[in-house]
Structure 1
Amino acid sequence: MSLIVELRQYTLHPGARDTLIDLFEREFVTGQEAAGITMGGRFRDLDDPDRFVWLRGFPDMEARERALHAFYGGPVWQAHRTRANATMVDSDDVLLLRGPGFAAPNARDAEGPVVVTVCHPHDTTAFADHFRRHLHPALTDAGTPPLAVHRSEHAENTFPALPVRTGEDVLLWFTAGKAPALPDLSAHLEAAPRQIRLEPVRGPRQA
């Protein structure tokens, strides 16, 4: 099922990541689900100790607006926002996408990290066709099949209190395990693909 998906990348104060993750897992997962938000994977960036990455989804933009108003105006966020915001340097690195969502693999299913490969095509439609015809089969044959593919959603941000990145076209996908080896894609992309290595969050630390 295709959703409106936010890929959110937070830059945190040094040493604050586990504080935010514990609070997030104890309070914000169920709190957002209660507001009608589909929660996706939550991750530590393996190459940046002050980076937290997560996803959430909505059936459509209207549902997104309603759910965000419900959560950020509701009791869970109001009770914990000061502590959460104190961990953050920047929370505005957000890609608004359309895709199937992405839940972190179970520990028993994942060998190595989760990797998100982010591409900025010259022509997103043409690159999506190239991806479907050539790159997806090649990645699958190499043992790194794409688990979810997302494209930029250019609908107006109807909840401007939370900014999203605009003015760019993105196609991205997730893989489990080692970072996939990619062929030369310079004819299709504005810049080299970015591969972000992620460790799935397994829940809050136990007291």
Structure 2
Amino acid sequence: MIYELRQYTLRPGRRDTLIELFEREFVETQEAAGMRVAGTFRNPDAPDTFPWLRAFPDMPARKAALEAFYGGPVWQANRDAANATMIDSDDVLLLRALAEPPAWERPPVGAAELPPSMYVATICHVEDGFAGFFDSEVAPVLAEAGVPVVARFETEHAENTFPRLPVRTGETVFVWFARFDTPEDERVVDLPMLKTRLTAAPQRLRLRPTARSAMR
């Protein structure tokens, strides 16, 4: 599966406005166009951002799905309201799944109860071949510390065939997600074996699922 990890920078105080619009208008309509809205989140450390994750079967399906959705009536009717909340929507990592994230049954439109869980996504800039090292040297340490890895991704270097939506290029990343039942369960694990394997400092995103997120 192909994934996009999208991080929108929003105008101050507009995050909940966008999430309410997104969960009402853009979840089922994107999925009807051929993609899957895998996870939608609030980052408690960055209140004017909206991180979310969507998936496609492959690159040709991605192109067709994006053309269908962004050329369709729901986006056309709501794009001005959505875009009015945003400063930037171009921070997008195009990824290939090595292990798919978990998914639960999505609550219906109008649901307001927030899941108690928290995900932590770690984004590492790496050289090619990092995935095998992670599986053999890093994942066991995390698991022993009570931080099981629930999803893993690496950069998809295929051409972006829907250039209307830019993606980050010229970098190779490895991304893993850990899930905690509550924020109080979060653990930060020292991973000294990473120091010689990374080409930049890792980015750590603390992610609280929104009311209708499929990752809960």
Q: TM (normalized to structure 2)?
A: 0.86
**Which residue does 2:49 correspond to in 1?**
51
Within 5 Å, give how 1:104-115 maps onto structure 2.
Answer: 112-115=117-120
- Kept in 2: contact 1:42–1:104 (CA 8 A): no
**Which residue does 1:168 correspond to in 2?**
171
- Kept in 2: contact 1:41–1:103 (CA 8 A): no
- Kept in 1: contact 2:35–2:65 (CA 8 A): yes
The separation in 1 between residues aligned to 2:174 and 2:150, in whole angstroms, is: 13
Amino acid at match of 2:153: H
Match of 1:182, SS state, is coil
CA offset at residue 104 of structure 1?
6.3
Within 5 Å, give how 1:116-195 maps onto structure 2.
Answer: 116-121=121-126, 123-125=127-129, 127-177=130-180, 178-184=186-192, 185-195=194-204
CA offset at residue 131 of structure 1?
0.6
TM-superposition CA deviations, 1:150-199 (whole Å, max 9, x none): 00000000000000000000001101121441312111001222111111
- Kept in 2: contact 1:98–1:153 (CA 8 A): yes
**Which residue does 2:205 correspond to in 1?**
196
Distance 1:117 1:105, change over 3 A: farther
**Which residue does 1:13 correspond to in 2?**
11
What's the RMSD between the two structures over aligned residues? 1.7
Amino acid at match of 2:122: T
Q: TM (normalized to structure 1)?
A: 0.90
Amino acid at match of 1:201: T
Q: Which structure 2 segments of 5+ residues have no match?
A: 106-114, 181-185
Paired residue total: 197
Match of 1:135, SS state, is helix
- Kept in 1: contact 2:100–2:150 (CA 8 A): no
- Kept in 1: contact 2:117–2:209 (CA 8 A): no
Amino acid at match of 2:36: T
CA offset at residue 113 of structure 1?
2.1
TM-superposition CA deviations, 1:38-62 (whole Å, max 9, x none): 1111001110110100011111111
Amino acid at match of 1:55: L
Q: Percent identity?
A: 56
- Kept in 1: contact 2:154–2:174 (CA 8 A): yes
